[in-house]
Amino acid sequence: MTPTRWLTSTEMRAWTAFLDCSTLLGDYLDQQLRRDARLTRADCGLLARLSAAPDRTMQISPLAEQLKFTRSRLTRAVIRLEDSGYVRRRDDPSDRRGQLAELTGTGAELLTKAAPGHVAAVRRAVFDVLAPEQVGQWATISEAITAALRRADEESAYPSALPWQRR
């Protein structure tokens, strides 16, 4: 068995800062979206994925995979958004067992109205407090971590298992 490589004090500081930052930022953005658009970040992300898809439509399974949602969580979210008139579900003609989620005109209007306030909140919370070189560093760091996690996910027999979970 390989001995545990504990975090150094600098690594622990960075890790704790990241956890605090991601938690506080998530809460801040959730509050802004709920207040201004009556949406959660998860719902906003779902609507945004659909808005960027061809014909504003995606199959449920790939959409769940992109959002890192379980299929049942996505189905519940789509039903809730469908009840609000933002999404439409329909059978997938190319896959008899599959379903499609489609962003409606009302959903697209909601995203269009929500975007300015959300961008302003992101700018206020993140980019206005960073120097330009810090933004570039943050992008590079985030891209490196994302690439490593995607490789780990692809190499694993278990979806979303991280390297330390596969040993």
pLDDT in tens, the chain (167 residues): 889 999 999 999 999 999 999 999 999 999 999 999 999 999 999 999 999 999 999 999 999 999 999 988 999 999 999 999 999 999 999 888 889 999 999 999 999 999 999 999 999 999 999 999 999 999 999 999 999 998 998 887 555 554 444 43
SS3 content of the chain, % helix, strand, coil (to 5): 70, 10, 20
CA dist., res. 91 & res. 60, Å (int): 10
Q: In this predicted structure, what is the pLDDT of residue 126? A: 97
In this prediction the pTM is: 0.80
